Structure 1
Amino acid sequence: MANSAVIKHVSECFIKPKSKDNNAKQPYYLAPGDLAMLSAHYIQKGLLFNKPSVTDEEFNIATFLEKLKDSLSKTLVYFYPLAGQLATQIDEDQHTSLIFIDCEKGSGARFIHATLDMIVDDIVSPIDVPIIVKSFFDHHMAVNHDGHTRPLLSVQVTELVDGFFIGCSMNHAVVDGTSYWNFWNIWSEIHQQQSITSNLPVHDRWFSEGYGPKISLPFTHTDEFIRRYEAPELRKRFFHFSSETISRLKMKANMEVEETDKEISSLQALSALVWRCITRARRLAGDEKTICTMDANLRQRLDPQLPQGYFGNSIWVAKAAASADEVLEHSLGWTAQLLQKAVSELTDKTLRGVFEAWMKSPFVYQIGEFFEPNSTVIGSSPRFNMYGNDFGVGAPVAVRSGYANKIPGKVTTYQGSKGGGSIDLEICLPPDTMSALESDEEFIALATRS
């Protein structure tokens, strides 16, 4: 690998929607789940592709980039808020701020073309994710509130010697993971001139009954609610779990639980394994408290349900807690059942109570404070269609993420690169804890390199 290789920016431009309707001229108000994300980082995920063979005379990078820009412009017609910028109206007398998207403000989505003198294998072969990967994304260390001056969407295409990486940085106060990958899916379909089979974005905002659409925060200065989190030194590794391994884990977990009418899911069983193994790797005292959280899509948990195309943040965390001894001395099934119970408690009634409490006392999540010490944080979802995004050059060979929202114990779940119901995990841990995890017999018996 060329250790001295650096990203070179070749060009940048801004992309606006191909056309606009009247909705794109109106203020786009943010819901509670959006406003609470203002101090978090942008979502940074991207896909790595091989270049078509050099014998394929039809492929030309300049032509390819122009087609990407054109299909992005068409995609933004459906996702028009991403072409705008955040705006704030301050009421000094009430000591409040109304933050919303001005869809006509700003230059549009940024599109960057960069080059790097490395090959695809330099990105996927190292044991740890190479540091250079964070340079595949725009908005490094930006928080969502920066969307007042930065684009809400920035796409960087980094051309490698034998491939390219499309990195997409999207404001997390505007979208969650479901909306984010839905954007990718529709962009891919439009690029290939296919009919759109993914969920078109639904821009009707969801608010608790009696609230909205304008929600003001009880702040007037950014230092009251924006703090910039910097992660400690972390190693980042990808681990692969085959569909057969996951099936065995699920079967084992369900055999070990007390009689229940609810089956433990594959992801709950895998998350329980990871929680156990990370807890052991941390070498905690037996009575120390440990936490495991799992992201939950709320669209189907509310009554009435929201459409899967709901554009915005509709997520909450299911949280389970136990002492280190309890996690390590009980069975996998016992631990998985704790997670299952936490997920099942996210009912319509519970969620409405959460949002109504937030409305009475609004706050903004702080990355470094929202999760307790010794937490294992399971994020994203292997259900998102990542490897189905084909921009006319074949399926992606890998998915990678940027610097954003990484904390000790962060576990990001991905659709397995080998398909067939497999799952890849990106795990972020301090170096000594990662070394202990790599030596954990229970973990390495099941995980392979992604």
Structure 2
Amino acid sequence: MKVQTKSSMILKPIYDGEPPSVVDSIPLSIFDKVNYNTHVALVYVFKPPTPTNTTIQTGLQKVLAIYREWAGRLGMDNNGCPAILLNDEGMRFVEASADCTLNQAMPFKPSMDLLNFHPTLKGLEELVTVQLTRFTCDSMVLGFSTNHIIADGLATSNFLVAWGRVCRGLDIGPLPLFDRTIFTPREPPIVEFDHERIEYMSKKLIKEQPYSYANSDDSSDGLIIHKAHFTLEFLSKLKAKASEGRNRPYSTFESLVAHLWRAITQARGLNGFETTHVRISVNGRQRMNPRVPNEYFGNLVLWAFPRAKVKELLQEPVQYAAKLIHDAVAKVNDDYFKSFIDFASNEEVVKDMVPTADAEKMVLCPNIDVDSWLRFPFYDLDFGGGTPFIFLPSYLPVEGLMFLLPSFIGDGSIDAIVPLFEDNLVTFKKLCYSLD
């Protein structure tokens, strides 16, 4: 498959009426500042009939008039604080064509070939890039990337759904909540948890950050990104096994992550006395009291870190790992989020610290980072020709960075994107479908 760029341009918002006359800015929230400052790239595949590029482009420019952040730039506000500048400088929009049919290019796998569906991200100032690639059969691939520091997965997926609705001539409702100043510290502040070693790390202690990189030079050479498909039948059996002896069963997510944590750990061949942990994103919208609406646009995520000695994780049954995960996630509650707000709002405390969310690390062994997209409405994107045939993250070669997403089959099955070194992959394949 050869992909050729036809055009590349900067798109700016189209306003219904007079555009804003004053360049404004939105200070980054404490949850933005602690998140990954990197672009996250997605790939959508649509089968015919597909709307024209002009329809998609115009709809995008109209929705940018509402989501002005995506057309802005990162910078400093008048107070010298990190901010999103609402200057309408625009986002990158690329039109491209492939020299084959979609069937000839299938199956799509998490490989370097997916990078053909995105413009380069090197030296990028734009906060969003979009590439529309047309196949000879009129199928279309949307390559979409956004800077994570602007919005988390739920906020980004809500934006995509709104874009599709505008293309179909519908109201986007409910409108997003853009106020990033709602997270105010208590008086007096109550810091109950060790945020200095979880979300943040002192620059002086950077070598002691939560991730350990044993036997690694941070090189991704020899890395294979494997897609494991788990049927609904397998997931039901796994959930029942993980929940044995418990009145209330663990969730499918808890059961599957517990299973994969054990399989990956065993495949890596780690020392039994080494400690391994899983980094799990926890959405604060449903955890905080009062609840924050799902329409909040920005980042509102912290992390749970279930951890165990390798020997115990592998000797104990899957119930052990599921309980560790359940208990760790449960602790990231309203008290935890408010404690973080009190801690991170103290600029004197955090000025000499850096976030532990480091997008530059290429090897996470002996640990795992799980991004679950199981509840995000990514599959609801519809430009007017129907919802996507396939949706998946683009190529991101980070050992141990795992994605969970609903299978495009639509039957409740789950796909796990698991990057591992080639030497460990054979063992992992043998373990990942075993319930023993």
TM bracket (short chain) = 0.7 to 0.9
User: How far has the Cα of 1:15 moved from its partner?
Assistant: 2.0
Equivalent position of 2:328 in the other structure? 342
State the AA in 2 paired with 1:65.
Answer: N
Instruction: Select which of 156, 168, 171 maps to 2:131.
Output: 156
Are the aligned partners of 2:364 and 2:400 in contact in 1 as well (CA < 8 Å)? no
123 and 379 in structure 1: CA distance in 2 versus 1, 3 angstrom threshold: farther
Instruction: Select which of 140, 149, 153 maps to 1:173.
Output: 149
1:61-95 per-position Cα deviation (integer Å, ceiling 9, x unaligned): xx70000011111211221111111122698xxxx
Equivalent position of 1:284 in the other structure? 270
Equivalent position of 1:307 in the other structure? 293
Matched, 1:10 2:10: no
Are the aligned partners of 2:363 and 2:398 in contact in 1 as well (CA < 8 Å)? no
Equivalent position of 2:210 in the other structure? none
Matched, 1:45 2:21: no
Residues 116-195 of structure 1: pairs in structure 2 closer than 5 A: 116-125=98-107, 128-140=109-121, 150-162=125-137, 163-195=139-171
1:162-184 per-position Cα deviation (integer Å, ceiling 9, x unaligned): 32210111111101101111111
Aligned-residue CA RMSD (Å)? 2.8
User: How far has the Cα of 1:139 moved from its partner?
Assistant: 4.5
Matched, 1:84 2:84: no
1:196-224 per-position Cα deviation (integer Å, ceiling 9, x unaligned): 35x5321011323269xxxxxxxxxxxx9
Where do 5+ consecutive residues of structure 1 fail to align?
53-58, 92-96, 212-223
Instruction: Select which of 228, 236, 239 maps to 2:225.
Output: 236
For residues 344 and 76 of structure 2, what CA distance do their matches in structure 1 show?
Answer: 20
24 and 350 in structure 1: CA distance in 2 versus 1, 3 angstrom threshold: farther
User: How far has the Cα of 1:335 moved from its partner?
Assistant: 0.7
Are the aligned partners of 1:123 and 1:129 in contact in 2 as well (CA < 8 Å)? no
User: How far has the Cα of 1:25 moved from its partner?
Assistant: 4.0
Equivalent position of 2:196 in the other structure? none
Normalising by the residue count of structure 1, what TM-score does the alignment of the two structures yield? 0.80
State the AA in 2 paired with 1:377.
Answer: D
For residues 421 and 402 of structure 1, what CA distance do their matches in structure 2 show?
Answer: 22
22 and 210 in structure 1: CA distance in 2 versus 1, 3 angstrom threshold: farther
Equivalent position of 1:102 in the other structure? 85
Identity %: 25
Where do 5+ consecutive residues of structure 2 fail to align?
188-205, 207-216
For residues 102 and 395 of structure 1, what CA distance do their matches in structure 2 show?
Answer: 33
Matched, 1:395 2:387: yes
For residues 81 and 36 of structure 1, what CA distance do their matches in structure 2 show?
Answer: 18
User: How far has the Cα of 1:375 moved from its partner?
Assistant: 1.0
SS at match of 1:255: coil
345 and 139 in structure 1: CA distance in 2 versus 1, 3 angstrom threshold: farther
249 and 121 in structure 1: CA distance in 2 versus 1, 3 angstrom threshold: same
For residues 273 and 101 of structure 2, what CA distance do their matches in structure 1 show?
Answer: 48
For residues 406 and 22 of structure 2, what CA distance do their matches in structure 1 show?
Answer: 33
Matched, 1:377 2:350: no
358 and 141 in structure 1: CA distance in 2 versus 1, 3 angstrom threshold: farther
Aligned length, in residue pairs:
396
Are the aligned partners of 2:12 and 2:88 in contact in 1 as well (CA < 8 Å)? no
Normalising by the residue count of structure 2, what TM-score does the alignment of the two structures yield? 0.83
